[in-house]
Amino acid sequence: MALKYIEEYRDGTLARAIIKKIQAVSKKKLRLMEVCGTHTMSIFRHGIRSVLPEGISLLSGPGCPVCVTAQKDIDAFVAFSRLDNVIVTTFGDLIKVPGSSSSLGKEKAGGADVRIVYSVFDAVNIARENKEKEVVFCGVGFETTIPTIAAGILMGIQEKLDNFSIYSANKLTPPALAALMETDGVKIDGFILPGHVSVITGTNAYRDTFENYNIPSVISGFEPIDILNAILLLIQQNEVGKPALENAYPRAVSDQGNEKAKLIMNQVFEVCNATWRGIGDIPLSGMSPKKEYEKFDAAIKFGMDMPDMPEPKGCACGQILMGLKTPEQCGLYKKKCTPMTPVGPCMVSSEGSCAAFYRYA
Work out whether 44 is an interface residue with ligand SF4 (CB under 6 A).
no
Q: Is residue 189 within 8 Å of residue 216, measured between CB atoms?
A: yes
Q: What is the DSSP string of 112-129?
A: --EEE-SSHHHHHHHHHH
Binding mask 256-295 for ligand SF4 (x = CB under 6 A): ----------------------------------------
The one segment of 105-113, 127-135, 148-156, 314-322 that binds ligand SF4 by CB under 6 A: 314-322
**CA atoms of 110 and 43, how far apart (whole Å):** 38
Query: How many residues form the binding site for ligand SF4 (CB under 6 A)?
Result: 14
Q: Is residue 107 within 8 Å of residue 144, measured between CB atoms?
A: no
Residue closest to ligand SF4, measured at CB:
344
Work out whether 324 is an interface residue with ligand SF4 (CB under 6 A).
no
Work out whether 298 is an interface residue with ligand SF4 (CB under 6 A).
no
The one segment of 55-63, 135-143, 297-305, 337-345 that binds ligand SF4 by CB under 6 A: 337-345
Cα 77–Cα 145–Cα 285 angle in degrees, nearest 5: 75
Nearer to ligand SF4, 202 or 327 (CB): 327
φ, ψ of residue 217 in degrees (nearest 5):
-145, 125
**CA atoms of 221 and 138, how far apart (whole Å):** 27
**CA atoms of 244 and 216, how far apart (whole Å):** 5
Work out whether 317 is an interface residue with ligand SF4 (CB under 6 A).
yes
The one segment of 23-31, 32-40, 214-222, 325-333 that binds ligand SF4 by CB under 6 A: 325-333
Binder among 35, 126, 155, 343 for ligand SF4 (CB under 6 A): 343
Work out whether 94 is an interface residue with ligand SF4 (CB under 6 A).
no
**CB of 203 vs ligand SF4, minimal distance in Å:** 32
Nearer to ligand SF4, 197 or 337 (CB): 337
Nearer to ligand SF4, 15 or 316 (CB): 316
**Which candidate, 121, 107, 108, 213, places its Cα nearest to that of 158?**
121
The one segment of 11-19, 215-223, 281-289, 329-337 that binds ligand SF4 by CB under 6 A: 329-337
Work out whether 333 is an interface residue with ligand SF4 (CB under 6 A).
yes
H or E element at residue 226: helix 224-240
Nearer to ligand SF4, 304 or 320 (CB): 320
Contacts of residue 299, defined as CB under 8 A and 6 or more positions apart, other chains included, come to: 76, 167, 168, 288, 305
Contacts of residue 152, defined as CB under 8 A and 6 or more positions apart, other chains included, come to: 119, 120, 121, 123, 124, 137, 164, 166
Work out whether 344 is an interface residue with ligand SF4 (CB under 6 A).
yes
The one segment of 170-178, 284-292, 302-310, 342-350 that binds ligand SF4 by CB under 6 A: 342-350
Question: What crossing angle do the helices spanning 37-45 and 224-240 adopt, rounded to 10°?
Answer: 110
Work out whether 41 is an interface residue with ligand SF4 (CB under 6 A).
no
Cα 358–Cα 335–Cα 346 angle in degrees, nearest 5: 45
Q: Based on the number of CB atoms within 10 Å of its own CB, is 332 exposed (0-12), middle (13-18) or buried (19 or more)?
A: buried
Binder among 330, 349, 351, 356 for ligand SF4 (CB under 6 A): 330
Question: Which residues contact ligand SF4 (rule: CB under 6 A)?
Answer: 315-317, 320, 327, 330, 332-333, 337, 343-344, 346-347, 354
